[in-house]
Amino acid sequence: MTQPMKEWMDGPGVASHRAPIEQLGRVAPRSERVERLLAQLTLAEKIGQMSQLTLPEQLEADPQAHARLLGELRAGEVGSFLNARDLELRNELQRVAVEETRLGIPLLFGRDVIHGYRTIFPIPLGVAASFDPTLAEAVATAAAREASEAGIDWTFAPMVDVTREPRWGRVAEGFGEDPWLASRFGAAMVRGFQGDDPSQPGRVAACAKHYLGYGASEAGKEYNTTWVPEPLLRDVYLPPFRACIEAGALTVMCGFNDLNGVPMSGQRWALRELLKGELGFEGFVVSDWASVEEMIQHGSCAGARDAALEAASAGVDMEMVSRTYRAELLRLVENGALPVAEIDDAVRRILEVKQALGLFERPYKQRSAPPAALCPEHLELARRAARQSLVLLENRGRCLPLSPALESLCVVGPLADDRHNPLGCWSFDGDRTATVTLLAALKQRLPAPGQLRYVPGVPDARSSDRSGFEAARSAVAAAQAALVVLGEDGNISGECRSRAFLGLPGVQTELLEQLASTGTPLVVVVMAGRPLTFAREAQLASALLYAWHPGTLGGPALADVLFGDVAPAGKLPISFPRTVGQVPIYHAHKNTGRPPRKGRRGIPTGTPLDPVDMDASYLDVDVSPAYPFGFGLSYTSFRYSEVSVSPTRGSFDTRFEVSALLTNTGERRGVEVAQLYVRDLVGSLTRPVRELKGIQRIELLPGASERVRFSLSASDLAFCRRDLSVGAEPGRFQVFVGGDATASEGAEFELC
């Protein structure tokens, strides 16, 4: 370790930079420092700043590869690394960049910190089920603290791809089907990661991804084509990115998809004109893993030269992993094919982000004392986040909450005592030894001998081994109640984890059928990274609790809710289909000229010559979802009434106040998420039947009432119109306030 690096690591001092950096002065405005640096960089060094490499896991075990990498660093050929998991290696590489290169520009270290670092929180789709953006901000703040002390400067999150496609594995990483909700959660995560000042200790740069329209991948297949007309792009897929930019996101990642025939890594209109121009994004754009080079496979580029030219021209400022920039950009500029001004724009953006993160002043990272990772505060937050994410879907005969006086409880299912899979996808940095399983949490609550028995039933969630069925059936038959934990393991959601069928994997349904034959009440807990189809399972269960992949403290959180210490209050951020054949299914659909009637199915009585009963329905399944967007039960019940709008007629400057009376009609304290939906009855382009425009979390004692209030302005009613301008249109609007997207209590107002 060199003396400057040692001084910084050992104390509060700042490492001595090489002369060119020192000459800039730390009191200089950021833009002045960056412009001076930019003027001193050679073209090759600029291209180095635009290049990000991944670090092999066993780099230090390969001396030749290690030496080769250090040589590239000293030559200024690398501006960023991802996957530097070791703090000492990270600081060693940073030392070479800061102390042994001509200009001493610090490196930027990125990592996929998606829903926690050492402490793993519920998957983002689960956090979205809380309908509480302040929770998402707290989760991101904790994740940033843990990641930062491990040497990470930059996380590739939040993912704000709106999707109506549960077959797509990456649905787990986002916030569901609704652009309004995804916008609030995305912005909250950005604030949590970056804080008010991203240069402060414990903060990391956020990266809004995957720009743009990636959630519309055809057939739910990873990396697939997306065809999205501009009005839909602006109304559904763009708003969360706009919200993240307004929240100050320092970086944006473009998607693997081709958008309307042009791969996003080469989409000049979307990147330069829309993102950097219209939306005013001032940070930098990074490609996804080798997505620049993959334009050759897409068939839009003939080779590396074309790919580098397309991406740099389009506005991809940093190339991740692949090396087309380093191989081709120098000659492209020298030959006049690529203006140097576009190179300068990219490098300027990268340097500004490095400066915003304080890397010029504090290039090295040191371990926190005490460490933030797995600290009591973060563990308690993980437990609270998991509790708030749980969604109660069924509760027949008030089977839940369980009585602590249960004489015997049988627990079945491999996920009940699994420290790995309940953490979900993108949890590779999580500490499995810190995971508290549901079984472990139950053992603390039911310590009496014979009160609790565990039988896995099947070896793992995807197994077809039925040899454990009989032991599980016998154990359940002898118990007063049974808790059956089913679902997906963490390895079948996330990137490149698309599924053609959405049922429970393996023989879990058969196991449940065997258990149901005993007559013992079954409480089914489902852990999964996406909406599943489980009509048969729901019929067999007395109660059904959806837990997503709940994270490090998922076990205690589940026990808290199962035994009634905390009432469930989660709501579905995505519609659950009855069958995969309904996909895509979502609440903000269009009405059609022959709208479907709820509950109607079968062959219509009419013909094309006399179209009686011919509407937008299925022959073989009800057109409605199994569980609608926003749905979630409590241990109490709520009633909405007296919905009103004031005024009922107003101009484009008017604020319309919507209110409703919410009453707890049950016998227990509970939290309800009141939801405001709007329908624009006539538009120059047809409008959705429901659009979410507001949420409020309300806690009420039994019998208590509270008036919930929302405010709407013309900007809340804006959409992409027929002429592609964005704004509201005069006309009549309906509002609905309720506990999910099927809310029927409503009122009307007119915008003049």
What does 386-410 look like in DSSP terms, one character per residue?
HHHH-EEEEEGGG--SPPTT-S-EE
- Between CA 550 and CA 407 the distance in angstroms is 28
pLDDT digits (tens, 9 = 90+) for 661-699: 999 999 999 999 999 999 999 999 999 999 999 999 999
- 3-state SS assignment for residue 592: coil
- Between CA 290 and CA 696 the distance in angstroms is 42
With helix as H, strand as E and coil as C, how does 538-582 read? HHHCCEEEECCCCCCCHHHHHHHHHCCCCCCCCCCCCCECCCHHH
Give burial (CB, 10 Å; 0-12/13-18/19+) of 61.
Answer: exposed
Strand order of the β-sheet with 108-111 is 154-155, 108-111, 80-82, 51-54, 319-320
Asked if 640 and 623 touch (Cβ cutoff 8 Å), the reply is: no
pLDDT digits (tens, 9 = 90+) for 433-477: 999 999 999 999 998 888 999 999 999 999 999 999 999 999 999
pLDDT recorded at residue 61: 74
pLDDT recorded at residue 257: 98
pLDDT digits (tens, 9 = 90+) for 531-580: 999 999 999 999 999 999 999 999 999 999 999 999 999 999 999 999 99
- Between CA 295 and CA 265 the distance in angstroms is 7
| Partners of 258 in the β-ladder | 263
Catalytic residues: 288
Asked if 241 and 285 touch (Cβ cutoff 8 Å), the reply is: no
pLDDT recorded at residue 260: 97
pLDDT tier, 279 (very low <50, low <70, confident <90, very high otherwise)? very high
Beta-carbon neighbour count of residue 43 at 10 Å? 15
pLDDT tier, 641 (very low <50, low <70, confident <90, very high otherwise)? very high
pLDDT tier, 12 (very low <50, low <70, confident <90, very high otherwise)? very low
DSSP 123: P
pLDDT recorded at residue 10: 38
Q: Kind and range of the H or E element at 110?
A: strand 108-111
- Between CA 534 and CA 518 the distance in angstroms is 20
- The predicted model gives 187-198 an average pLDDT of 98
Q: How far is CA 417 from the centre of its chain?
A: 26
pLDDT recorded at residue 602: 84
Place of tokens 């890397």: 359
Tokens matching residue 506: 């393996």
Among 116, 205, 15, CA closest to 431 = 116
Instruction: Break the chain into its structural domains and give their ranges.
Output: 638-751
pLDDT digits (tens, 9 = 90+) for 87-98: 999 999 999 999
Give CA separation, 347 vs 34, 38, 100, 275, 412, in Å: 9, 8, 20, 17, 56
Query: What percentage of the chain carries pLDDT values higher than 70?
Result: 96
Is the confidence at residue 26, as pLDDT, over 80?
no
Rg, C-alpha atoms of the chain: 27
Q: How far is CA 493 from the centre of its chain?
A: 13
Is the confidence at residue 4, as pLDDT, over 80?
no
What letter represents residue 339's amino acid?
A: P
pLDDT recorded at residue 3: 46
Angle at alpha carbon of residue 46, lines to 41 and 49, rounded to 5°: 120
Place of tokens 């604020």: 655
pLDDT recorded at residue 601: 81
Beta strand 262-263 with 452-455 is unpaired
pLDDT digits (tens, 9 = 90+) for 103-116: 999 999 999 999 99
pLDDT recorded at residue 22: 33
Region of 172 please: left (phi>0), alpha (psi -120 to 50) or beta: alpha
Query: What percentage of the chain carries pLDDT values higher than 90?
Result: 90
Angle at alpha carbon of residue 387, lines to 381 and 392, rounded to 5°: 165
Asked if 177 and 163 touch (Cβ cutoff 8 Å), the reply is: yes
Beta-carbon neighbour count of residue 64 at 10 Å? 7
Mean pLDDT, all residues of the chain: 94
CATH fold label, 638-751: Immunoglobulin-like (2.60.40)
Give CA separation, 648 vs 562, 655, 660, 661, 679, in Å: 44, 11, 15, 18, 15
Tokens matching residue 627: 């569980």
Sign of CA dihedral 235, 240, 241, 244: positive
pLDDT recorded at residue 30: 57
Among 174, 185, 246, CA closest to 210 = 174
pLDDT tier, 65 (very low <50, low <70, confident <90, very high otherwise)? confident
- Between CA 586 and CA 625 the distance in angstroms is 8
- The predicted model gives 64-83 an average pLDDT of 94
pLDDT tier, 339 (very low <50, low <70, confident <90, very high otherwise)? very high
Beta-carbon neighbour count of residue 724 at 10 Å? 11
pLDDT tier, 28 (very low <50, low <70, confident <90, very high otherwise)? very low
pLDDT recorded at residue 219: 96
- Between CA 312 and CA 331 the distance in angstroms is 13
pLDDT recorded at residue 23: 34
